[in-house]
Structure 1
Amino acid sequence: MNVTLPPELERFVQDKIKSGLFDSEAEVVRAALRLMEDQDRPILWAEGSIREKIAAGLASLKAGQGVDGEAVFERMETEMDEEEARSRS
């Protein structure tokens, strides 16, 4: 695989090699890709988790187990009001 980098990234790669941290351009690129992979892993996990929750919610709705949205918001408001009242006491 051949990759063309803009001049500033080419300098960055060369600086990493000159620093002695890496022996080759390929090592720098591999390290960068590993970091990207590590950064992406939690995001991919979260996306999968969210998709699972959405699928479970849709299945509940299809099974007639949904809840009234207005009732949920009213309950949340009541709970927040109660918590606020407790914190003032």
Structure 2
Amino acid sequence: MNVNLTPQLEEMVRAKVSSGMYTSASEVVREALRLMQEQDRLRQVKLEQLRRDSRNSLKNGSSEPMDAPALQGDARTGKTAKLKAAARHDKK
């Protein structure tokens, strides 16, 4: 299989191999695909949980006002944690 990458992605792959973290470009691409697969799986789990929570809320009939700023803060915190985890992974 041949894959065409943008110059930026190609440089990223070269840098990963040059760093010694990976032995080949194929290894970098395989790791990227594994991470994408894991991210997709986590998204699916979160979606299923959201659907369960929504069904439970509808069954119970209870509701609370939505606190949009708090939800945005939670989302930012989660994103920050993911970025920090990715940075730690890149340093290995």
TM (normalized to structure 2)? Answer: 0.52
Name 1:19's counterpart in structure 2: 19
Gaps of 5+ in 2: 66-92
Query: How far apart are residue 45 of structure 1 and its match?
Result: 1.6
* Number of residue equivalences: 65
Name 1:85's counterpart in structure 2: none
Name 2:61's counterpart in structure 1: 66
| Distance (whole Å) between structure 2 residues aligned to residue 66 and residue 19 of structure 1 | 56
| Distance (whole Å) between structure 1 residues aligned to residue 19 and residue 50 of structure 2 | 42
1:33-82 superposed Cα distances (whole Å, 9 cap, x missing partner): 22333444433222110111223344x2xxxx635x6xx66xxxxxxxxx
Aligned residue runs from structure 1 range 67-82, under 5 A: 67=62
Query: How far apart are residue 30 of structure 1 and its match?
Result: 1.2
Q: CA RMSD in A?
A: 2.5
TM (normalized to structure 1)? Answer: 0.53
Aligned residue runs from structure 1 range 22-41, under 5 A: 22-41=22-41
Q: The residue matched to 2:3 in structure 1 has which SS?
A: coil
Amino acid at match of 2:53: K
Amino acid at match of 1:45: V
| Distance (whole Å) between structure 2 residues aligned to residue 31 and residue 66 of structure 1 | 45
